[in-house]
Amino acid sequence: MTDSQTHLKSAIEQRNNIVKEIDELQKQINTKRELGLKVQGIIEYLEQTGVKLPEEDAPAEPAAEAAAEPAEAEVAE
């Protein structure tokens, strides 16, 4: 086999591997898309049946910042 033939064989194998990887990725995309649609359906169902998340309280954020401040003070010492 000549160098050119070896190179051609290698390129064909590489192309076949790439096509195989693309097919596998496409299957993963389709699976994730289906899962996303199912989850969206669940969300819509729960919202239509009146399920709501509690609203986040504004004081929760300053409390988180206050908890972070002593850690920064300890580092500064």
How many other β-carbons are positioned within 10 Å of the β-carbon of residue 51?
A: 9
For 17-45, the pLDDT digits (tens) are 999 999 999 999 999 999 999 999 999 99
For the chain, what are the domain ranges? 3-76
**Per-chain mean pLDDT for the chain:** 85
In 3-state terms, what secondary structure has residue 32?
A: helix
Predicted confidence band of residue 77 (pLDDT cuts 50, 70, 90):
very low
